[in-house]
Amino acid sequence: MDIFRIHETVLDEYRSYVSSFLTIADQGIRDLVERELIHENALCPEALVQLNPAFAWGPTLEELVGEGVLHPDCSRIFRKGDQPVHLYRHQEEAIRKGLAGEHLVVTSGTGSGKSLCYLIPIIDHVLKHAPAERSVRAILVYAMNALMNSQLAALKAFLEQQDPSHPAVRVARYTGQEDQGEKKRLQASPPHIPLTNYVMLELMLTRLSEEVFITENLASVEFLVLDELHTYRGRQGADVALLVRRLRERCGNPDLRCIGTSATMATGRSRYERRESVATFAGTLFGTPMTAESVVEETLRPLTSGDGPPGLEAVRAAVQAPPPSDSWDAFSGNALTRWMERTSGLAEEADGHLRRAVPISVNEGARRLAEETGVDLSECEGRLREMLMVGSRVKTPDGETAFAFKLHQFIGQGGTVFATVEAPEARLVTLDGQYWAPGGGERLLFPVVFCRTCGQEYYVVRHDREHGSVTPDRFEPLAATSETDHDVLSGYVFVDPKGRWQNDPNHLPDHWYDSRGRSIRREYAPSGRCPSGCGPMGWWGRWAMGRSPAGSSPSPSCSVSPVGRPTPAETGATSASWRHSPARVAARRRRCSRWPRSPA
């Protein structure tokens, strides 16, 4: 499987999908949109490549059992096949802190084994403290039920390996997914470790039938785990922070051990700054004092041998030579493998600590490689792609994939076209939103939208009839428009220097006429010329939906009239509506029986 080919196919199909909605009649505007949005990757910027790093090894569980740190059954439960789990160094650090009764936060990336950092000390605690008693010892809170379900399946797989002659460690999910019969069964026989979400935990604090999971003398809650800690921000974070404090009070355990897990939560110039920032956040959320020492970060190691970056001559020779075979020895000994790991996998901080490198695109990696080696850019790019594919097939002596890399693809939401109100051959058109046109002067940039049927462009404006001025309308929310400001209309304007619109009454929408269908309503009477003096202007009208005023004018090419507040989703602006099915066309052809009528 060639992930690069699949990736390009998906993007080509998406670009084709987006292009199918670009109904723009003016060729100059269409060329600009297609060039900047489609061909110059504003819509789909280059994908970023990141290598999954290798983690530094710690002891096996059997070794911790031998030290007397863990209960002997832990090495029986936590096994991969017939071998005990071999811990990473950051897992060992977190487990020792958890066993010592410390609060902690584990911040490490995908595949780093964050769950074992809290499951092992929790299950060890249950095994050492009357496992036959059916009372809750730890509450695991997950941000999403999907994550919880995945975690529950993995945890049950571990617990199936328990010694059947010993009291079993019991886990169960307790959310809105369980029916009343299952909930009553769990209330009668509580698990040692319930998995839930913060909404259900809130309800558990208010229901008498569920106090068995929390209340002192009925439960023995020692641990609280919040997974995906970074999701608890803003108002939700404040709610959860108060929930944690109430839980601590209800369970009667002022020393409740709080554990949080997350991917990287903070950036900083040093490891200490990152950890201090995370500790401040977690301490506020949990309501417990935390320091930088409470935060456990992943500990990385180089996958390839050798200290520091490889020599440039060796790298140049590796670029110009055929790619290595799929064997570990050939791949790990290649100088280009070491160069790629140091560029896209690892970055060394001032104190020598290794962290994940900032992802870069293949093209950026090829540019750096070409600068350092003097090899042609296209040859460097091709070789990097080949090495990534070889690395995805090679297995390390531990059975892991050598280069398990990720492609991070961001999809842009498009934007709005802006133009000055001038003749088509003289106006400035841009996708960069600003009020004044660059280059000095007093030319304004107006948002431009397009008829979904014929592609006629319209300027989105605010017409101040009292002062005779037209200014750009930035799609402000309805509340921003004063209901008493009847002298300012929000609407569309099209400039018609060639006189394509002949003001033929037969082409006007039904709702522009009075109840007898004979005379045009006063609010839809033609205004003559654009107030800015740029030339003949279309018809002005009042918004046909709600009280807020807005303008509407029929398209000179297809006799379709926009109806409703001018928003990108309704008028075909280059907007986020592309990400979904085509937005409804807020216009109907003349004489259509479904034409929305104006309020009386």
Cα 552 from Cα 225, distance rounded (Å): 56
Q: What is the pLDDT of residue 267?
A: 66
How far is it, in rounded angstroms, from Cα 456 to Cα 494? 8
Among residues 164, 152, 136, 195, the alpha carbon closest in space to that of 73 is found at 164
Q: pLDDT at position 413, please? A: 74
**Closest Cα to residue 296, out of 320, 314, 275?**
275
d(CA 170, CA 191): 5
Dist CA 74 CA 61 (whole Å): 7
Lowest mean pLDDT among 109-113, 124-128, 175-179: 109-113
Mean pLDDT of 365-375: 95
Q: What is the DSSP letter of 205?
A: T
Q: What is the mean pLDDT of residues 60-89?
A: 92
Half-sphere exposure for 590 (CA within 13 Å, toward CB) = 16
Residue 166 or residue 251, greater confidence: 251
Q: Which two tokens stand for residue 215?
A: 């209340």
Beta pairing, strands 295-297 & 193-196:
unpaired
Q: With a cut of 60, say whether residue 117 has pLDDT above it.
A: yes
Label the pairing between strands 193-196 and 360-361.
unpaired
Q: Which residues pair with 139 in a beta bridge?
A: 224
Give me the mean pLDDT over the 24-43 stretch.
87
Largest CA distance in the chain: 97
**Better-scored residue on pLDDT, 252 or 544:** 252
- The mean per-residue pLDDT over the stretch 163-190 comes to 92
The hierarchical CATH code for the domain 56-301 is 3.40.50.300
Output the six-digit token pair for 518.
């004979």
CA dihedral sign of residues 473, 474, 475, 479? negative
pLDDT per position as a tens digit, 457-472: 888 888 887 777 888 8
Q: Tell me what pLDDT residue 266 has.
A: 65
Least confident range of 105-119, 274-288, 485-499 = 485-499
pLDDT top residue among 548 and 279: 279
Residues 229-260 as b or e (16 or more Cβ within 10 Å = b): bbebeeeebeebeebbeebbebbebeebbbbb
> Whole-model pTM?
0.74
Band of residue 104 on the pLDDT scale cut at 50, 70, 90: very high
Residue at 414: amino acid letter: G
**Angle separating helix axes 89-99 and 114-128, nearest 10 degrees:** 40
Residue 14 to residue 472: CA distance in whole angstroms: 31
Average pLDDT over residues 561-569: 35
SS3 354: strand
Is residue 565 predicted with pLDDT exceeding 70?
no
285, 282, 213, 287: which is closest to 251 by C-alpha?
A: 213
Work out the pLDDT band at 101, boundaries 50, 70, 90: very high
Residue 531 Cα to chain centre, angstroms: 44
Mean pLDDT rounded to a whole number for the chain: 82
Residue 549 has what pLDDT? 30
Q: Mean pLDDT, to the nearest integer, of 87-111?
A: 94
- Residue pair 23/453 in contact (Cβ under 8 Å)? The answer is yes
pLDDT of residue 571: 35
**Number of helices (H) and strands (E), helices first, in the chain?**
17, 24
Q: How far apart are CA 75 and CA 92, in angstroms?
A: 14
- Taking the C-alpha atoms of residue 109 and residue 100, their distance in angstroms, rounded to an integer, is 24
Average pLDDT of 76-90? 90
Tokens of 134: 């059916």
pLDDT, residue 579, reads 24
What stretches of 511-583 adopt beta strand conformation (E)?
Answer: none
Distance CA 590, CA 363 (A): 52
Least confident span in 431-440, 487-496, 552-561, 568-577: 568-577
Token representation of residue 493 = 């304007």
The residue type of 63 is E
Residue with more model confidence, 350 or 293 = 293
Residue 19: count other Cβ atoms within 10 Å of its Cβ. Answer: 15
pLDDT confidence of residue 502: 67
Q: How many CB atoms lie within 10 A of CB 554?
A: 24
CB 402 within 8 A of CB 304: no
Q: Quote the pLDDT of residue 433.
A: 81
Which residue, 511, 493, 506, is CA-closest to 555?
Answer: 493
Q: What percent of the chain has pLDDT over 90?
A: 52
Reading the block at residue 546, the tokens are: 């709600």
Average pLDDT over residues 180-191: 95
**Nearest one of 13, 276, 271, 261 to 141, comparing CA atoms:** 261
Sequence spans of domains, the chain: 1-44+415-600, 56-301, 303-408
The CA R_g of the chain, rounded to the nearest whole Å, is: 32
pLDDT in tens, 252-270: 999 999 999 998 666 667 8
- Residue length, the chain? 600
Q: Which helix (H) or strand (E) holds 104?
A: strand 104-107
Token pair, residue 451, equals 């008829």
Among 185-189, 426-430, 464-468, 521-525, which stretch is predicted with the lowest mean pLDDT? 521-525
Measured CA to CA, the distance from residue 83 to residue 378 in angstroms comes to: 46
pLDDT at position 475, please?
Answer: 53
**Rounded CA gap, 548 and 189, in Å?**
60
Question: What average pLDDT does this structure show over 150-163?
Answer: 91
Identify the pLDDT of residue 564: 34
Assign 82 a pLDDT band (cuts: 50, 70, 90): confident
Per-residue confidence band for 352, with pLDDT thresholds at 50, 70 and 90: confident
Kindly give, in sequence order, each residue whose CB lies less than 8 Å from that of residue 438, ignoring residues fewer than 6 positions away: 428
Give 379-442 as a DSSP string.
HHHHHHHHHHHHHTT-B-TTS-BTT-EEEE--------EEE-SS-TTT--EESS--SBPSSSSS
Residue 302: closest CA among 86, 112, 57: 57
Residue at token pair 């990473």: 88
Instruction: State pLDDT tens for residues 294-347.
Output: 999 999 999 887 666 788 999 999 999 999 999 999 999 999 999 999 998 998
Cα(213)–Cα(195) distance, rounded to whole angstroms? 11
Is the pLDDT at 595 greater than 50? The verdict is no
The Cα 352–Cα 150 span in angstroms is: 36
Cα 343 to its chain centre, rounded Å, is: 25
Q: Which two tokens stand for residue 508?
A: 């006007």
Structure tokens at 331: 């791949």
pLDDT for 525 equals 64
